[in-house]
Amino acid sequence: MKRQWFKLPLHQLLHALHTGEASLPEIVASFYERIATRDDKIGAWQYLIDQDDYLAEYESRSDFYKASPLMGLPFAVKDVIDTAGIPTTMGSAIHQDRIPDMDASCVTAMKAAGGILMGKTVTTEFAYFQAGKTNNPHDAERTPGGSSSGSAAAVADFMVPVAFGTQTAASVIRPASYCGCIGYVGSKNEFSLRNIQPLAQSLDSLGILSNDVLDTLLLRNILLHKPLSLSTPGAQAACVFGVFSGQALGEVQGKMLETLQACQKDLSEQGHTLVDFPLQDAVVELTALHAQIMAYEVARNLVYEQQQHETLSAHMQSLMSTGLAFPYMEYIAALQRADTLKQAVLQWFADSGADFILAPAAAGVAPYKTEGTGAPFMSRAWQLLGLPVVSLPLGYFQKLPMGLQLIGKPHQDDVLLLQARQLQQRFLNSSSVLTV
């Protein structure tokens, strides 16, 4: 029986290559067969490299790839990330013929580490609300979330082991929750955004989608040019988690709250301390400030696109109108107020001894596509604060995944991811996965 290599995470595929258990062409063929079987239903890919071209690239530099950290394994990037010689359309007909002549820094770093680009994944229009063609891999009638729709769906459905997305509001964390993969957004300014199409400069972040936190750590180290390791480091023995249900922001589905409560109970039984996160009013205010800042910056970044107003979706037209009407001094005041509230949150971390905040990654399971791409309110505040966040699919309801997010302290991303890895091992790789 043919081995289903596509189901293995990146670090296990590397192990198979190192030990000679598999060859690179075998692994690549497994992924392309998966895509051929599944993508007609899901629509995750905007542009897919031909399999023969992929293997020709590998064979043309096989000595390099065999000695490289990633050994020629595939990765994908969201279609707002520039790729030399391959279209970057940003989900808009305005840019359907745009072909960059230079890779984004994240793409260059992956290629230098021996990764081979498999293709570009679908994004919503300009990484905002207008949905693309992608369906949720668990139910084609439901949204995969936005805006990193294709990246989350492709990874969750095992069409590619890892992919890059971007987040300005909730564009990595929400799709990861809806599709059932791991989504990570780094601390503000953690990663280069060079040659990634901007939406709102105060908020934009690069994100990583994977099926294993160890793969996320591996890609993070590649981007930061840190030493690479396939070992599994440990996390803190006992931590303090501040718990935020999100109900102060909007309606949260009962099954999501049950998942949160079940996770709290399990963490407590494992010796961790759970405390209420008290700054709910601050999160509500930060959520509103985020929307104002985002609208202001989008309207002043997408000036070229405004000149083709009739080509834009109603969602984008409305956002630009709101942003153009928002006064400069109010924008500056919003940034200053956000900084004040950030200091309050950081002070809470210090005073309480908390290590992380635990919260729902979305309001519930993926809604039907007729209802849109889902509400971003669970992520807006943390994105404005520039905190690192990871979403883990720790719950399921009627076979639909639900993610919980861990929010960490600024630039303590490694600490956050090591704790996430411990949670993944506890829940995702055991019978204790939370089915509610």
Q: pLDDT for 51-67, tens place per residue?
A: 999 999 999 999 999 99
Q: pLDDT for 378-399, tens place per residue?
A: 999 999 999 999 999 999 999 9
Q: pLDDT for 394-406, tens place per residue?
A: 999 999 999 999 9
CATH 3.90.1300.10 maps onto the chain at: 5-224, 240-435
The chain-wide mean pLDDT, for the chain, equals: 96
Quick one: pLDDT at residue 435?
62
Q: What percent of the chain has pLDDT over 90?
A: 94
CATH superfamily of 240-435: Amidase signature (AS) domain (3.90.1300.10)
Report pTM: 0.97
Q: Are strands 389-397 and 74-78 parallel, antiparallel or unpaired?
A: unpaired
Q: pLDDT for 199-252, tens place per residue?
A: 999 999 999 999 999 999 999 999 999 987 756 556 668 999 999 999 999 999
The secondary structure of 301-369, three-state, reads HCHHHHCCHHHCCHHHHHHHHHHHHCCHHHHHHHHHHHHHHHHHHHHHHHHHCCCEEEEECCCCCCCEH
Quick one: pLDDT at residue 235?
62
Quick one: pLDDT at residue 431?
44
Active-site positions?
A: 78, 147, 171
Inform me whether the pLDDT recorded for 161 exceeds 90: yes
Measure the CA–CA gap between 425 and 421, rounded to whole angstroms.
6
CATH of domain 5-224: 3.90.1300.10
Mean pLDDT of 271-288: 98
Quick one: pLDDT at residue 429?
57
> Residue 389 belongs to what H/E stretch?
strand 389-397
Measure the CA–CA gap between 195 and 89, rounded to whole angstroms.
13
Q: pLDDT for 339-370, tens place per residue?
A: 999 999 999 999 999 999 999 999 999 999 99
Q: pLDDT for 6-65, tens place per residue?
A: 999 999 999 999 999 999 999 999 999 999 999 999 999 999 999 999 999 999 999 999
How sure is the predictor about 283, in pLDDT bands with cuts at 50, 70 and 90?
Answer: very high
Quick one: pLDDT at residue 227?
86
